[in-house]
Structure 1
Amino acid sequence: MARISAETRARNEEAVRAAMDRLLKGDLPPGGSCDLKTLAAEAGVTRTAFYPKKNRDGTTRPGPYQHLAEEFERRLRTLQEAGEILDPRIAQIERLKAKVAELKERLAQRDETVAELTTFKELAVSRLAAQHDEIVRLREQATALGNVRHLPAARPGTAPYGSCS
């Protein structure tokens, strides 16, 4: 692989720094994110230039723009720690995670309410059944004793017994 001239390297570093500033300001290309791959594509350099290289003897040496990759990651981490989210997809994921947590909480509350209402309904139906059984038993008892007098049915248009009207 041919070595690049100092002038080309300086031009590439300027392009990387300009692309870094754009990405860190949130100006992301369509389909891109705030990462080294997008940085390399925006600067017009190969992504491998951001990573360490191996010499023929097996030792490693820094990549030509590895210092810029480290600077980019450091600045990105600083912004993220400050609470700024540059990538709209990450912001959307965070919003959706918050919405899911809220919906889970609402669902848990709703499940609790349904359980309470089910218990209440079972208790109410049980009480109604017990009251019905008591009414049936009392009617049968009254019929068996024969000492209950039936009141005459009210005529239409008249007030019931004991009314003040």
Structure 2
Amino acid sequence: MRISAAQRTGNENRIRAAMDRLLRGEIPPGGKCDVKTLPCEAGVDRTALYGTRPYTHLREEFERRLQALQQAGEIPDPREAQIIRLKAENAKLKERLAQAEDEVDELTDFRTQALARLAAQHAEIIRLRGTAEGASRVSRLPAPRTTVIGSCS
């Protein structure tokens, strides 16, 4: 079925208006800022935007404008912006988690080494005490006296 020039102009105007709304971030519920939502918003057949159909140039214009916005750092679809923000946040959190795991590994290694050193030192002290008790020339010093200092009243 052929459409008249007036109908074609009306469709183009509706597609351009829908394009402007989507690129401003006015996304309908359940839609996105994409070529699938564009014809739904404009009330035209989706196939009219593809191949050698009459509105292919409008789809290409929409894709160019969307890409230009994205390259400029603007994301008209708030959900897309949220996804990008959450992905960046997720990457930061993964990095922090990796750093924390590395730190835990380092501290665990340090703790293991410290315990090994303490055990070796304890064994050496036990050995030296045993050697000291067996040697006749070593005498033990008397225990220090505790003196009570008078309290001030």
Q: TM class, shorter-chain normalised?
A: 0.7 to 0.9
Runs of 4 or more consecutive aligned structure 1 residues displaced over 4 Å after TM superposition: 152-155
Matched, 1:69 2:68: no
Relative distance call for 1:71 and 1:152 in structure 2 (3 A) is closer
Structure 1 alignment gaps of length 5 or more: 53-61, 160-165
Change in Cα spacing, 1:102 to 1:27, as seen in structure 2 (3 Å) is same
Displacement of 1:152 in angstroms is 4.4
**Larger deviation, residues 96-105 vs 16-25:** 96-105
Q: Any idea what the Cα deviations from partners look like across 1:97-145, whole Å, max 9, x if unmatched?
A: 2112111211221122122112211211111011101111121122222
Identity %: 59
1:149 deviates by 2.8
The equivalent position to 2:120 in structure 1, one of 112, 126, 130, is 130
Structure 1 residue 89 displacement after superposition: 2.1
Instruction: Give yes or no for the alignment of 1:41 onto 2:43.
Output: no
Residues 1:5 and 2:4 are matched in the alignment: yes
CA RMSD of aligned residues (A): 1.7
User: How many aligned residue pairs are there?
Assistant: 148
CA distance in 2, matches of 1:152, 1:137: 21
Greater shift in the superposed pair: 40-49 or 102-111: 102-111
| Alignment TM-score, normalising by the size of structure 2 | 0.88
CA gap of 1:144–1:158, structure 2 versus 1, over 3 A, is farther
The CA distance in 2 between the partners of 1:91 and 1:144, in whole Å, is 79
Gaps of 5+ in 2: none
Whole-Å separation in 1 of the counterparts to 2:113 and 2:104: 14
